[in-house]
Structure 1
Amino acid sequence: MEKLKIGDKVYIAESLKWSKRVNYVLDEVIRLTKTQAILSKGRKIINEPTRDWCKKDCFAEYGERYNKWYLQTNEILVTVKAEIERQTIEQWFCTKKFTDEEKRIIYLQLKKQE
């Protein structure tokens, strides 16, 4: 694996320990130093490719070596889009207060799909 170059797009998947929610941070390399790549949001990555625990190529974050950054692919962009949609749906259901009639309609629709 090669070192990062200016314009490379990277991502990190951050999640809480007891939650199924995954937050993806997408970023781009805007500047390089001798040993680091600086991202557009200010985070710094050690510009030396390594491998994570599942043998995927990655880059460690400066100061937080357990945070692993990966190069973006089309597959991860599809995954990010699906996760954002899932979180939007979850948020909508959390804030929506259903009436008894709406609950009945939802129940009948789900029952029909079985």
Structure 2
Amino acid sequence: MDILKIGDKLYNVEQNGFDDFARYSFSEVVSLTETLAVLKNGVRLINRPKQSYIMEDVGYSVSRKKGTHWHIVSLKAIRNAQIENEKIKIFDWFAAKQFTLEEKRKIYEMFHAEKSK
């Protein structure tokens, strides 16, 4: 478990209740003090790694919000963020879309045909 260095890339995941999507934030360490690492987005992390059972094994607590952790970016985190962003995009599209009766009929037929298989 290493302390953070300038240029390290980190991520955080927030979720507004169990029914909400996981929303990923990514940032990079741009400056260091004696005890803090400051990210490009202004978040200040305590530069002391600790065990985290949230997303990764190791996390860095947000200063004055010790329950919020940021983690070193991994390929798994990037892939999970891509999947979640696609889910959000699909959900938002369906929420904004006003289907015509013809579109509803086509969707119904597609689902009905798949059910019959």
1:32-89 CA deviation, whole Å, 9 max, x = no partner? 1110000001110000000124671111000110101111001110110111111000
Matching of residues 22-101 of structure 1 within 5 Å: 22-53=22-53, 56-101=57-102
Flag as ranges the 4+ runs of structure 1 deviating above 6 A.
none
| Structure 1 length-normalised TM | 0.94
* Letter in structure 1 aligned against 2:74: T
SS of aligned partner of 2:11: strand
* Letter in structure 2 aligned against 1:15: Q
Matching of residues 12-31 of structure 1 within 5 Å: 12-31=12-31
SS of aligned partner of 2:106: helix
Indicate whether 1:107 and 2:83 are aligned. Answer: no
What's the Cα RMSD here? 1.3
**Structure 1 unaligned runs (5+)?**
none
1:7-34 CA deviation, whole Å, 9 max, x = no partner? 0000010111253221111000000111
**Structure 2 unaligned runs (5+)?**
none
SS of aligned partner of 1:3: coil
